[in-house]
Structure 1
Amino acid sequence: MSMGDVIREHARLIMLRDLAEQPDGRWNSEALREDLEVRWAINRPRAFVHDELRYLEMVGAVTLAESGSVLIASITQKGLDHVERRIRVEGVKRPSPEA
Structure 2
Amino acid sequence: MDMAELIRDQARLIILKALAAQVDETLNSDFLVLELQRFGIRKDRAWVHDELRYLAEMGALVALPVGSLLVATLAAKGARHLEREIAIEGVQRPSRPVA
Under a length normalisation based on structure 2, what TM-score does the superposition of the two structures give?
0.97
For 2:56, the equivalent position in structure 1 comes to 57
The one-letter code sitting in structure 2 at the alignment partner of 1:31 is F
Q: How many residues align?
A: 98
- Structure 1, gaps ≥5 residues long: none
Counterparts of 1:27-66 in structure 2, within 5 Å, are 27-37=27-37, 39-66=38-65
Distance between the aligned counterparts of 1:86 and 1:7, measured in 2?
23
* Cα-Cα RMSD: 0.5
Q: Which amino acid aligns with 2:61?
A: V
Alpha-carbon distance in structure 2 between the residues aligned to 1:32 and 1:9? 15
Regions of 4+ moved over 2 Å: none
1:73 aligns with 2:72: yes
Q: Are 1:5 and 2:5 an aligned pair?
A: yes
* Matched position secondary structure for 2:10: helix
Structure 2 SS opposite 1:9: helix
> For structure 2, which runs of at least 5 residues remain unmatched after alignment?
none
State the partner residue of 1:91.
90
